[in-house]
Amino acid sequence: VENVRLLDRLSSRRAVVGTLYLTATHVIFVENGSETRKETWVLHSQISSIEKQATTATGCPLLIRCKNFQVIHLVIPQERDCHDVYISLIRLARPVKYEELYCFSFNPKLDKEEREQGWKLVDLNEEYNRMGVPNNYWQISDVNRDYGVCDSYPTEVYVPKSATAHIIVGSSKFRSRRRFPALSYYCKSNNASICRSSQPLSGFSARCLEDEQMLQAIRKANPGSDFIYVVDTRPKLNAMANRAAGKGYENEDNYSNIKFQFIGIENIHVMRNSLQKMLEVCELKSPSMSDFLWGLENSGWLKHIKAIMDAGIFIAKAVAEEGVSVLVHCSDGWDRTAQVCSVASLLLDPYYRTMKGFMVLIEKDWVSFGHKFNHRYGNLDGDPKEISPVIDQFIECVWQLMEQFPCAFEFNERFLIHIQHHIYSCQFGNFLCNSQKERRELKIKERTYSLWAHLWKNRADYLNPLYRSDHGQTQGTLHPQIAPCNFLYKFWSGMYNRFEKGLHPRQSVTDYLMAVKEETQQLEEELEVLQERLANLQKSQSGNNKIKSKQQDRSKQFGLYTSNNSLANTPQEYSNDLKSFPSRSPSQGDEDSALILTQDNLKSSDPDLSANSDQESGVEDLSCRSSSGGGCLPSEDSGKDSDEAVFLAG
């Protein structure tokens, strides 16, 4: 469709005209007439809703909201075209078969072996061994070998050694969807563990001997402690309501040596509405500070984030400080339980705060234990009531922790954002389906690629420059504060206003430090070479032309890094301006190469994310809107009208 206008959400005056293409996998908008040929790519699987608004004199508006929080506002001249686009997108955005998803057509040009290697990067067997199981207390159980006991559990689960197959099967019959207690995390140093399950089918008075034995077995697997905590992550009211349906929670009188605790994390429906409300706040046009803060409070989002964090903190404290094992469950044990277990693990074990460890953590607590990715993130057309930002909340918890413990994590914010993106993108097979069983049936590993390998390949982009493995913060358990005035929970604009670059800090400390560290590495290498050569020269004073030419090469190369470095210093938004107004480049190096370097930076990390060049277009739009930094040239005055609007409107 031609002559489509792409509107800027914040300023109606800043619209661009271009052509809209629909392909089998993407919506592509290509801007007219610009030399750089700016493109906006959106994966169909990212589309969360499409809204056709009333036709106006200028055309028919179409609003596309994406799961990665991008909002695209198009105006299509002909009502009929708009309708066609709308109908096609509705169909394309809601595939009914897994085979329609992008990961089955996505081909990063890797051979079979590389693909298999990619899937082997994260190995849960290795992970359990790293934790220290199997050992005297824990063993692997094959009771679920053919998914015979629980079809949403993995085939291999760790259970206490004293729990016989009889006990496990018995216990599974007393638990929702037969999700019996299984090991999530084992703390080598004191034998305390985190186990997970679903709610017991206790109703008002039902008991199950095997289930009671199962909990006993978990306690016995930690000889240092004479009780275990049973943490029900639901609000007490919800849990009690479940009793009427024959489900419920553990009665302390029936189970010996347990301490029962409610945590009060709301259910997926509350969370879905909460996110919806918060996104409405993000979408407000020039909100006042109190509109924003009131909206944020009213959405309850940060309250929910805090509830999840508090639960994680409670469990981590029980395990690390009290040495007590914890059994965590909610209703089905695949949403809140996954959130809480993974936050606790992250606090407890520095390994999960490394890049590899974080992948393992998601694989362990989310993928293998049957978090319903397909239902929660709406990969296939399904019940909208099943959709909920469960893992988004976990990812945000990690970010909030990163803000409090800036040196504790090996990865940076971009890593989290890209993982969030791919949970919805369906470009890789990792997060397809609702369980391990379904993934095996679909032969995901043979037919799609693994995200972890992709991220690992680009790991340089995801490093936190402040992380040092020998640093104090990277060791041991993290102890975050609990009160909001001690642990400032912030609105994560890097995520929820991700595509509005103008709202973010214009200079990124992380990028700057990464560039410096990269340069440092170059310097280290060069220093070594130079020292070697110096030694050689001192030995024989005969100058050698060959070496000399090599030296020139090196210094040229070096110059490039410096220029990259100072470009990082320039707010990235201005990089487009830099090209049009080279005189403004503060760098002493070659501007073009420097420019390419930044674009590389954007692109290399993730072809789809940034070939999706809306990142760049967003950059340009905003740099003008917020009356960009440069402003050295009067020719830039074109931007002034809307600039004024921005500040005058406020």
- Binding site residues for substrate, as ranges? 267-268, 330-336
Nearer to another protein by Cβ, of 257 and 493: the residue is: 493
Distances (CA, A) of 44 to 242, 261, 283, 497, 584: 38, 43, 21, 20, 39
Out of 269, 471, 550, 556, point to the residue binding another protein (CB under 8 A).
471
DSSP SS3 for 16: strand
Under the binding rule (CB under 8 A), the answer on residue 443 touching another protein is no
Under the binding rule (CB under 8 A), the answer on residue 546 touching another protein is no
Under the binding rule (CB under 8 A), the answer on residue 466 touching another protein is yes
Q: Interaction with another protein in 345-404: which residues (CB under 8 A)?
A: 404
Under the binding rule (CB under 8 A), the answer on residue 631 touching another protein is yes
Smallest gap from Cβ 649 to another protein, in A, equals 9
Instruction: Return d(Cα 64, Cα 250) in angstroms, integer.
Output: 46
Smallest gap from Cβ 488 to another protein, in A, equals 6
Q: Where are the alpha helices (DSSP H) in 458-574?
A: 493-496, 509-539, 545-569
96 within 8 A of 374, measured Cβ to Cβ: no
Q: Interaction with another protein in 584-603: which residues (CB under 8 A)?
A: 584, 586
Smallest gap from Cβ 573 to another protein, in A, equals 10
Query: Catalytic: which of 66, 195, 330, 433?
Result: 330
Instruction: Return d(Cα 261, Cα 274) in angstroms, integer.
Output: 25
Smallest gap from Cβ 399 to another protein, in A, equals 14
Under the binding rule (CB under 8 A), the answer on residue 470 touching another protein is no
Smallest gap from Cβ 516 to another protein, in A, equals 5
Out of 79, 446, 592, 644, point to the residue binding another protein (CB under 8 A).
644
Instruction: Return d(Cα 336, Cα 383) in angstroms, integer.
Output: 20
Under the binding rule (CB under 8 A), the answer on residue 566 touching another protein is yes
Smallest gap from Cβ 551 to another protein, in A, equals 7
Under the binding rule (CB under 8 A), the answer on residue 468 touching another protein is yes
**Burial level of 126, CB count in 10 A (0-12/13-18/19+)?**
exposed
Assess whether 433 carries a catalytic annotation: no
Letters for 526-545 (x = contact with another protein by CB under 8 A, - = none) are xx--xx-xx--xx--xxx--
Q: Where are the alpha helices (DSSP H) in 405-504?
A: 413-425, 436-441, 444-447, 451-457, 493-496
Under the binding rule (CB under 8 A), the answer on residue 482 touching another protein is yes
186 within 8 A of 133, measured Cβ to Cβ: yes
Q: Interaction with another protein in 607-626: which residues (CB under 8 A)?
A: 626
Residue 510 C-alpha from the chain's centroid:
18
Under the binding rule (CB under 8 A), the answer on residue 552 touching another protein is no
**Burial level of 599, CB count in 10 A (0-12/13-18/19+)?**
middle
Under the binding rule (CB under 8 A), the answer on residue 280 touching another protein is no
Nearer to another protein by Cβ, of 245 and 527: the residue is: 527
Nearer to another protein by Cβ, of 214 and 282: the residue is: 282
Instruction: Return d(Cα 58, Cα 61) in angstroms, integer.
Output: 9
User: In sequence order, what E strands does 324-473 have?
Assistant: 326-329
Instruction: Return d(Cα 226, Cα 191) in angstroms, integer.
Output: 12
Instruction: Return d(Cα 415, Cα 159) in angstroms, integer.
Output: 33
187 within 8 A of 176, measured Cβ to Cβ: no
Q: Interaction with another protein in 500-519: which residues (CB under 8 A)?
A: 500, 502-507, 509, 512-513, 516-517, 519
Using CB under 8 A, which of the segments 294-302, 346-354, 425-433, 448-456 binds another protein? 294-302
310 within 8 A of 339, measured Cβ to Cβ: no
326-329 β-sheet, strand order: 182-186, 193-197, 326-329, 228-232, 258-262
Smallest gap from Cβ 311 to another protein, in A, equals 13
Choose among 47, 111, 98: nearest CA to 74: 47
Nearer to another protein by Cβ, of 413 and 606: the residue is: 413
Out of 289, 469, 546, 635, point to the residue binding another protein (CB under 8 A).
289
248 within 8 A of 240, measured Cβ to Cβ: yes
Under the binding rule (CB under 8 A), the answer on residue 290 touching another protein is yes
Out of 197, 274, 570, 612, point to the residue binding another protein (CB under 8 A).
570
Under the binding rule (CB under 8 A), the answer on residue 524 touching another protein is yes
Out of 23, 32, 49, 493, point to the residue binding another protein (CB under 8 A).
493
Nearer to another protein by Cβ, of 227 and 405: the residue is: 405
Q: Interaction with another protein in 304-323: which residues (CB under 8 A)?
A: 306, 310
Q: Interaction with another protein in 138-177: which residues (CB under 8 A)?
A: none
Instruction: Return d(Cα 212, Cα 348) in angstroms, integer.
Output: 27
Using CB under 8 A, which of the segments 34-42, 171-179, 357-365, 637-645 binds another protein? 637-645
Under the binding rule (CB under 8 A), the answer on residue 80 touching another protein is no
Using CB under 8 A, which of the segments 162-170, 246-254, 295-303, 590-598 binds another protein? 295-303
Q: Interaction with another protein in 205-234: which residues (CB under 8 A)?
A: none
Smallest gap from Cβ 451 to another protein, in A, equals 28
Smallest gap from Cβ 330 to another protein, in A, equals 20
Task: Dump the DSSP string for 569-620.
Answer: HS-GGGHHHHHH-GGG---SS-HHHHHHHHHHHHHHT-HHHHHSTHHHHHHH
**Burial level of 286, CB count in 10 A (0-12/13-18/19+)?**
exposed
Smallest gap from Cβ 473 to another protein, in A, equals 6
Instruction: Return d(Cα 311, Cα 81) in angstroms, integer.
Output: 51
248 within 8 A of 262, measured Cβ to Cβ: no
67 within 8 A of 276, measured Cβ to Cβ: no
Out of 303, 317, 457, 579, point to the residue binding another protein (CB under 8 A).
303
Peptide bond just before 505 cis, omega within 30 deg = no
Residues near another protein (CB under 8 A), total: 96
Residues contributing to the annotated binding site: 267-268, 330-336
Out of 30, 407, 560, 611, point to the residue binding another protein (CB under 8 A).
407
Active site members: 330
